[in-house]
Amino acid sequence: MNTAIKIKNNIYWIGVNDRRTHIFENYWPLPKGVAYNSYVITDEKVVVIDTVERSRMDDYIESLQAVLQGRQVDYLIVNHMEPDHTGSIKALKCYYPNLTVVGNSKTFPMLQNYYGIDSNLLEVKEGDSLSIGQYTLNFYMAPMLHWPETMVTYLPEEKVLFSGDIFGAFGTLDGGIFDDQVDLDYLEEEISRYYSNIVGKYGVPAQTALKKLGALPIGTICATHGPIWRSHIGDIIARYDRWSKYETEAGIVIAFSSMYGHTEQMAEMIGRFLMEAGIKKIRIHDTSKTHPSYIINDIFRYRGVIFGSCAYNGGIFPTMETLLNELENMGVKNHYFAYFGNKTWGGGAMPRLKAFAEKIKWEVVADPDEATGAIKATDMEQCRLIAQAMSERLKG
């Protein structure tokens, strides 16, 4: 079925929606699905920009052929080598064996390693241009957003930026493909969750790319996931600028791991004390039920973070360990931190939480509390002190 949609003169979206895949990269939940966006330009030369995940290649090829009406593909531009965007390259080469793959010096070793393709290659560097007839394509490198070979392609005549994963989002494109055709409120969390978990580690490269791309007049942003931006360009760029600077709101994320309820009670107490101190934006997550991607998304939004864990085999609970590992890997910056725990006998979560604080270099605002068994009056008082210190630091 032809699902191609015209974007501008001779520029078409030939992407696909995936509502069947439950987890992205075999890790991140996709409750609202995901879109894989690919584009084709039909100038004097035919140019395809990125492809789609291989499970949808039949629909993809059908849409491409419907647009081309027998024409051949001259160039395939690979902005990003991740298989959800290159998974259909081998199929595309079968249909169009003479096409030239356009990429940079870091693209081609990956292309060889993944697909065994090492001929008909055109290497481009920062600022290079490719004339395809009426249009010219300009190339800019954006390394580590979020792979080392990432680049973007800009079409100045139409002010269109093909941005790869930059400015992407989880969620399928239901009905329309443009930002002013879809329900952005419905996709709100999927836009920020995509940034915080896929791109979030790379704040410094994001700032570098934003400064570089800021010199370009951009009328349309064609990312490889999520909506095509044409009416809210300033908004999505401003979000990336804010997120990549680790700018946050004055709210608090409490995440806990609890086996029999005592650590959860402490989390509830701290949340209530924070409310009494005037904090309204409080998000409490059970790490055993909430996937880390949602907790991390809230951490990118709110400045205060409080973690608590029960003891487990003399250490920290496994789901809390997973969350800590994710955050340490991302190197999230600029947060206030406090922690607490619960144990039954010797050993517990506190050494691991202390090591986490030291490694990630968040400011610890209060002394920790580790309860033993049921919550005592002294533990309640320490929970109150943790909440008081955090609320004062946020207000200060």
CATH classification of the domain holding 338: 3.40.50.360
pLDDT in tens, 294-333: 999 999 999 999 999 999 999 999 999 999 999 999 999 9
Give pLDDT, residue 69.
96
- Model-level pTM? 0.94
Task: Judge residue 27's burial from the number of C-beta atoms within 10 Å of its C-beta, 0-12 exposed, 13-18 middle, 19 or more buried.
Answer: exposed
Asked if residue 191 and residue 158 are part of one domain, the reply reads: yes
Asked if residue 284 and residue 236 are part of one domain, the reply reads: no
Measured in residues, the chain has a length of 396
Parent domain of 133:
5-244
Asked if residue 310 and residue 211 are part of one domain, the reply reads: no
Q: Which of 178, 209, 244 corresponds to the end of one domain?
A: 244
The answer to whether 153 and 162 are in contact (CB under 8 A) is yes
Give pLDDT, residue 396.
84
- 318 three-state secondary structure: helix
Name every residue whose Cβ is closer than 8 Å to that of residue 102 and which is 6 or more positions away in sequence: 75, 76, 77, 78, 121, 122, 124, 130, 139
Please state the domain count of the chain.
Answer: 2
Asked if residue 164 and residue 98 are part of one domain, the reply reads: yes
Asked if residue 27 and residue 65 are part of one domain, the reply reads: yes
Q: Which of 175, 210, 244 corresponds to the end of one domain?
A: 244
Q: For residue 191, count other CB atoms closer than 10 A to its CB.
A: 22
pLDDT in tens, 115-124: 999 999 999 9
Give pLDDT, residue 375.
95
Asked if residue 161 and residue 59 are part of one domain, the reply reads: yes
Look at the alpha carbons of 319, 320, 323, 325 in this order and tell me if their dihedral is positive or negative: negative
Asked if residue 284 and residue 233 are part of one domain, the reply reads: no
Q: What is the pLDDT along the chain (396 residues), one digit of tens a residue?
A: 678 999 999 999 999 999 999 999 999 999 999 999 999 999 999 999 999 999 988 999 999 999 999 999 999 999 999 999 999 999 999 999 999 999 999 999 999 999 999 999 999 999 999 999 999 999 999 999 999 999 999 999 999 999 999 999 999 999 999 999 999 999 999 999 999 999 999 999 999 999 999 999 999 999 999 999 999 999 999 999 999 999 999 999 999 999 999 999 999 999 999 999 999 999 999 999 999 999 999 999 999 999 999 999 999 999 999 999 999 999 999 999 999 999 998 878 999 999 999 999 999 999 999 999 999 999 999 999 999 999 999 998
